[in-house]
Structure 1
Amino acid sequence: MIKMPIADPTYIGQVASVTGAIVRVRLREDMPSTLVMIGGESYRVGQIGGYFRIPLGYANLYAVCTQIGADAAPHGSTEEIYTGVLEADVQKRLSGFRWMTIVLFGEGLGKEFERGVGQYPTVGDEVHLVTNDDLKIIYGCSKGKKGAISVGQIASTSGISADINIAGLVSRHSAVVGSTGAGKSNLITVLMEAVSDGSLPNARTVIIDPHGEYASALGERARVFRIRPNLEAGERPLWVPFWALPFSELQELTLGGLQPNHEATIRDLVHDMKLTAAASLANPPPEGTITADSPVPFSIKKLWYELDKFERVTFRASGNQQTDEQAHDPEEVGDASALKSDRYPAANSYNQAPFKNQRKRNIERHLELMRSRLRDTRFSFLFKPGDGYEPNLEGGIERDLDNLVKDWVGHDKPITIFDVSGLPSEVLQIIVGTMLRVVYDMLFWAQDLPIGGRQQPLLVVLDEAHRFVPEGSETSAHRTLSMIAKEGRKYGTGLMLVTQRPSEIDSSVLSQCGSMIALRLTNSSDRSKVSAAVPDDLGGLVDQLPSMRTGEGIFLGEVMPIPSRVRVRKARQKPVGDDPKMPDVWQKAERPDSSLYSRALNNWRAQSSSTDTDNEN
């Protein structure tokens, strides 16, 4: 093959081998320096994450650099073989270090750019640098489309805006990963600021906030729900009615583990109570559709009372003669609404009346746990929901789940923040899973209505995702989020997983993410998990993650037209979880008043971080 003189200053080498989207490039030998000046701007050849262009007639293939140096040479290659193929002069030898690996990601024709590759290069094709003019064409394609929001600037370019594709973000799911302090909270805040700036008036997003940090940055743009005694102005109490939980989760929270026969009996009792209560609903469902898992109200206090009564009742007869007519009347009648037990004559230890119940289940400890949970103020949001969601003893309610979901996502603000930092840790996964299941199911069955997911899509942002979808776990949150990850796209529900430990997230859920936003990540196992999950065969870019600057990330997949290294701008309002201002706070001359620890104790007991002086008393 005769090498023709090439005058184009962007020319940097030739294709040596092609394996799918992976292309090995042999760099030109007469390049005096890796710093090239083109049009008055400087470009570095061989930068990891740099872009390159392979002309093929009227079309251009675009690729990103993932490896440079001797290790980038094709496996098993020899200097003689590749020199003979690419060079007419066999005396000229390229150094074994002048190799580069690039990965194809898109194709351009004129000023039109499209993700994906329809044709592939062959050995000897030229490889060129991508200039800023080329990048403006590529990124201009996304900027010209509706629903593109800016989150910062493309790193190592002169003023090119980094625009996120909203359709790709919501419809294809995404994952935001990064070590503590890498800038995840700032990125989420920037995204939500862009979503709520007025350009997307019909946007609908939900943030699951386990640390209570986003309300401080997005409070005016969002409706905030919290679990705490003293709510700030504009905040609303978070109610999650217990009767919306599936039976298995409700049993786990209230009674704990049971023998299978006892569990089946109690399930049947709950089913009967829901069946009876359903008749009083505004629009009673068909009886055949109601199960113990149906979101139908019933009185959990009455359930406890009936189960407790069955354990305590004594009879005037024994054995098979124990019927309702043979049961003793209680010496003192209890009160279901007050969780007060009936008191019966004590069973005689001898073979004479009163006799104990021969069919009792011996679940007194479980019932005591249940009563304790129902009385625990930490669980009031669940078992004593306000605003008319708590059923009376007959199962009647003033407000139903339609009002609840309307309050959650049917308001006029584009963002809903569920501050779940006040939830007891032992129920966090169950409650979050139930909340998301209620919203998802409501939007699923409304898919032909204007409020349905297809007509008004919903984006769920799940912070600390590794706590809710851990590998090898089976919880309410895990089941719901797995379903959203696998099916949500078809019904207009998108998922954004935010985590500092991607290695702990369920692989099947992470694999459903069509986009990956990776900030600085230092742990090797986390990088391996990310590398296996990134799309477009671009796992080699993950090696950059330990050296990323704070607030800088690699955007891969559907969110941007090409794999991009982005410098995310600072949010207008910092979330509470932002780093303390060090060393300024340590350089203050006076130390805080030690008497404030008393107020801290009061806040702890009241489950409130309010700084009001009322908390002192």
Structure 2
Amino acid sequence: MIIGRCIGETSPTEVNFISDEMPQVGEYVCLNYDDKQVLGMIETMVRGNVSLNEDIYNPATVKMITEIEGTESYIKGKVRILGDVNDHLKLPRTPAPPGTPVELANKEILKDVFKVKNPLKLGSLINQKDIDVEVNANSILTRHLAILAMTGAGKSNTVSVLIDGMLDYDVPVFVFDMHGEYKDAEFKNGEVNVIKPSINPRYMSFNEIKKLANISKNAFKQERYFRRAFKKANKLVEEGAASTNNFLMIIKGVLIEMGNDEELSAGEKNDILGVLNKVDDLIEKYANLFDTNRGNILGNIQIGKANVLDLSQTDEYAAEVLVSHILRNSLQRRKNYFNKSSNETLEFPVFFILEEAHILAPKRRESDSKFWIQRVAREGRKFGLGLCLVSQSPKTVDQDALSQMNNMIILRLVEPDDQRHVQSASESLSEDLVKQLPSLNVGEAVLLGLMTKVPTLVKIDEFKGRMYGGDIDVIGEIAKYKKDSKEELKQQEEDLMNLGYDY
């Protein structure tokens, strides 16, 4: 079906066209010229009237012209060239001649375009709901993914559809669940394995424990004493002189012994006492985080399950430490597995999903979690570690980490700073597509990257399993509270009457 013809100057990457009918932004079209069948996507549409131009400032003039000429207007659009259908979607080297017909792409072409290896169904085309949109699951795992949207645009549903699709391939998915949205979810293709957010401090790095002990980078003396105690505690454990049952208490004992040295000055003893106080606070504040009886936390990951680390009850410091600890160990153990350099290995790939990426990989603040997110983003694909960053505040996500995400699912974004930040991180997101982001409805998204052959406007499938994360019915909650309160008061009155009180 011909919907228009090319006009003006054309290029191998885009053409303008004029149309008799109003097609929809996001629809795919074909241009046939020079023995090529070139696929394109409509990125912008405008409607105008030559007589009713922007230089008219009098409404009466507009009314008069409309009465004389009627309401006829022209329809103009821009097509982004995606590639030659018959040449593996390579961009053509020659532009389409002006006057070339612009036709809607037929179903056969589109079905072939969305036919990929290792298919994972995310939804259907916004404008053609009978065309399924499948992405290459392997490309997501090896080249990482970002899911970005404003609050309420459908992130949690998208993540759930993605998890269920990965479980269909028995991929061990690991979710850093910041709000407890997935711990009780029910997936069609696999079970949820809830992992307790606790670490054996024996397996923690010095920087991880130091962060929880709240020893700042500027506290050089306290850091020096704490490092000595940490190293001495590890040495005692390795030599068998102390048990790992309470590693933090071993550190405390070493510090007490250091403070009893008569040769130290009063100032030095005071510095050690400051470290001791922070270790006491550490033990008391994070008692639930430390489990001296558990092995390495990576041993809890199960293949073919959604492994959910429930971080809903942990503070930001603990969450950052858990993320850095798990990513650091995963990368090192996968390297050990490939290089056969140690028996401490992770023998299978893992796909990590990090909710609240703007907290774990902040743009304007350094943190261990951001450091290891960046490391895994750069090196993880070589060792079978995939990342998915999820955020409702893209502008505050670290640019380096975001730019390493070679695939993106972008749902509705209204904030201009968010749009610019995402566009600067993705070479596939054109200015015209950016302009479409505020107009997306809930559950609609732009797909970009190596997981799909072409940029796509998709309606994400509705996740059918049970999950949390939607908006709370606040009015309903208040009404229920008032009803329960009235019933409780009435019951108390009845109890008093039964006891013989005249209430």
> TM-score normalized by structure 2?
0.81
Q: Which residue is 1:437 aligned to?
A: 328
1 CA distance for matches of 2:205 and 2:311? 20
Paired residues for 1:213-292 under 5 Å: 213-218=181-186, 221-225=190-194, 236-254=195-213, 256-257=215-216, 259-279=219-239
1 CA distance for matches of 2:222 and 2:133? 59
Give deviations 1:365-400, integer Å, cap 9, x for gaps: 331121122133x43322xx05x24xxxxxxxxx4x
2 CA distance for matches of 1:437 and 1:139? 38
Give deviations 1:250-273, integer Å, cap 9, x for gaps: 223226136435533542443343
- Residue of 460, 478, 487 corresponding to 2:370: 478
- Describe the shift of the 1:278–1:492 C-alpha distance in structure 2 as closer, same or farther (beyond 3 A): same
2 CA distance for matches of 1:66 and 1:309? 71
Matched, 1:414 2:281: no
Shift of 1:572: 1.5
CA contact (8 A) 1:485 1:512 kept: yes
Matched, 1:303 2:251: yes
- Residue of 415, 427, 431 corresponding to 2:318: 427
> What letter matches 1:175 in structure 2?
A
> What letter matches 1:414 in structure 2?
K
> What letter matches 2:289 in structure 1?
F
2 CA distance for matches of 1:61 and 1:137? 15
CA contact (8 A) 1:52 1:127 kept: no
Matched, 1:189 2:160: yes
2 CA distance for matches of 1:478 and 1:262? 24
CA contact (8 A) 1:10 1:129 kept: yes
SS in 1 for 2:338: coil
- Describe the shift of the 1:115–1:177 C-alpha distance in structure 2 as closer, same or farther (beyond 3 A): farther
Shift of 1:130: 2.8
Structure (1/2) with the larger helix percentage: 2
Give deviations 1:393-432, integer Å, cap 9, x for gaps: xxxxxx4x3xx3221x2x2433211111111233321222
CA contact (8 A) 2:114 2:453 kept: no
Matched, 1:10 2:19: no
> What letter matches 2:312 in structure 1?
S
Matched, 1:367 2:327: no
Q: CA RMSD in A?
A: 3.4
Segments of 5+ residues of structure 2 without an aligned counterpart are 49-71, 489-503
Q: Which residue is 1:332 aligned to?
A: none
CA contact (8 A) 2:11 2:94 kept: no
CA contact (8 A) 1:515 1:535 kept: no
- Describe the shift of the 1:358–1:239 C-alpha distance in structure 2 as closer, same or farther (beyond 3 A): closer
CA contact (8 A) 1:168 1:559 kept: yes
CA contact (8 A) 1:212 1:421 kept: yes
Paired residues for 1:602-617 under 5 Å: none
- Residue of 446, 461, 465 corresponding to 2:337: 446
Q: Which residue is 1:338 aligned to?
A: none
Paired residues for 1:398-547 under 5 Å: 399=295, 401=296, 404-407=297-300, 409=301, 411-447=302-338, 456-547=348-439
Shift of 1:361: 5.1
Shift of 1:541: 0.8
1 CA distance for matches of 2:268 and 2:479? 71
Paired residues for 1:22-421 under 5 Å: 23-27=14-18, 31=19, 33-35=20-22, 44=23, 47-69=24-46, 99-109=76-86, 114-117=88-91, 119-124=93-98, 126-142=100-116, 145=117, 147-197=118-168, 200-201=169-170, 203-218=171-186, 221-225=190-194, 236-254=195-213, 256-257=215-216, 259-279=219-239, 299-312=247-260, 315=262, 322=263, 360=269, 362-376=271-285, 378-382=286-290, 385-386=291-292, 388-389=293-294, 399=295, 401=296, 404-407=297-300, 409=301, 411-421=302-312
Shift of 1:97: 6.6
Paired residues for 1:530-609 under 5 Å: 530-581=422-473, 591-593=483-485
2 CA distance for matches of 1:425 and 1:215? 19
> TM-score normalized by structure 1?
0.67
1 CA distance for matches of 2:187 and 2:10? 52
Q: Which residue is 1:40 aligned to?
A: none
- Describe the shift of the 1:137–1:58 C-alpha distance in structure 2 as closer, same or farther (beyond 3 A): farther
- Describe the shift of the 1:514–1:360 C-alpha distance in structure 2 as closer, same or farther (beyond 3 A): same
- Describe the shift of the 1:451–1:569 C-alpha distance in structure 2 as closer, same or farther (beyond 3 A): farther
Q: Which residue is 1:352 aligned to?
A: none
> What letter matches 2:273 in structure 1?
E
- Describe the shift of the 1:493–1:116 C-alpha distance in structure 2 as closer, same or farther (beyond 3 A): farther
2 CA distance for matches of 1:560 and 1:184? 19
SS in 1 for 2:363: coil
Q: Which residue is 1:79 aligned to?
A: none
> What letter matches 1:380 in structure 2?
N
1 CA distance for matches of 2:209 and 2:404? 29
1 CA distance for matches of 2:338 and 2:192? 24
1 CA distance for matches of 2:11 and 2:149? 31
SS in 1 for 2:378: helix
CA contact (8 A) 1:51 1:65 kept: yes
Identity of aligned residues (%): 19
Segments of 5+ residues of structure 1 without an aligned counterpart are 1-8, 36-43, 72-94, 226-235, 282-295, 316-321, 324-355, 390-398, 597-617
> What letter matches 1:381 in structure 2?
L
Give deviations 1:507-560, integer Å, cap 9, x for gaps: 111111111111111212112212223333523212112121111111112222
CA contact (8 A) 1:11 1:128 kept: yes
> What letter matches 1:63 in structure 2?
G
CA contact (8 A) 1:66 1:538 kept: no
Shift of 1:238: 3.1
Shift of 1:505: 0.6
CA contact (8 A) 2:10 2:98 kept: no
Give deviations 1:417-470, integer Å, cap 9, x for gaps: 1111111233321222112222222222213689978x8432111111111111
> What letter matches 1:429 in structure 2?
E
CA contact (8 A) 1:105 1:536 kept: no
1 CA distance for matches of 2:7 and 2:468? 50
2 CA distance for matches of 1:19 and 1:298? 69
2 CA distance for matches of 1:539 and 1:575? 35
1 CA distance for matches of 2:44 and 2:121? 29
1 CA distance for matches of 2:465 and 2:213? 41
